[in-house]
Amino acid sequence: MKRGTCKHFYGCDKPCGKGHDIREVVGEEDTGWLLRIPCITIAAGNMSGSQRSHWNRRVSCVDYTEPTEAEITEFDADMEAHLKRLAAVKPLIKKIKEDAAEDAMGETKCPVCDNTLRWSISSFNGHVWMKCSTQGCVSVVE
Ligand SMILES: [Zn+2]
């Protein structure tokens, strides 16, 4: 969540938090449609003349809502905490991958909060799933 981006925006490939199909909202031709979305109001970087022309024809959305400074601060803090938890379990994920030759699951002590951390690994794709029993702590789905 950041300044200049609607707080309902989760990406162009899915409906927003208000249920709008962003491609339908934009309408018109496919070329440059990503530059015409109403969800982002601060341009990132330099644009070519053609890109600028699409940008200048951005559509509007009745539900565009700028996040408050408090929401941005809370989001950033949540993201930072999430990244710290990920960094804390990264060695554990690596070890599980090294040790598991087939489908496996187990429990271990959560490196973040010491509670029970359940995990499993798929022999099909080698992806690890992990969830701490503490609400809001580690949750990994590769
Ligand atoms: Zn935990």
- pLDDT tens for each residue of 76-111: 999 999 999 999 999 999 999 888 777 899 999 999
pLDDT at 125: 86
- CA pair distance 30, 49, nearest whole angstrom: 17
Distance 7 CA to ligand 1 centre (A): 28
Is residue 38 a contact partner of residue 58, using CB atoms and an 8 Å limit?
yes
Confidence of residue 75 (pLDDT cuts 50, 70, 90): very high
Confidence of residue 142 (pLDDT cuts 50, 70, 90): confident
Distance 101 CA to ligand 1 centre (A): 26
pLDDT at 99: 86
| Kind and range of the H or E run holding 79 | helix 69-99
Distance 9 CA to ligand 1 centre (A): 29
- CA pair distance 4, 90, nearest whole angstrom: 33
Q: Report in angstroms the alpha-carbon separations of 22 from 26, 39, 105, 141.
A: 6, 9, 40, 27
- CA pair distance 38, 36, nearest whole angstrom: 6
Per-residue pLDDT reduced to its tens digit, 18-73: 999 999 999 988 889 999 999 999 987 889 999 999 999 999 999 999 999 999 99
Domain ranges of the chain: 1-67, 83-141
Q: How many residues does the chain have?
A: 142
Distance 139 CA to ligand 1 centre (A): 9
pLDDT at 44: 75
Instruction: Count CA atoms closer than 13 A to 66's CA, side-chain side.
Output: 6
CA 135 distance to own-chain centroid: 19
- CA pair distance 89, 65, nearest whole angstrom: 35
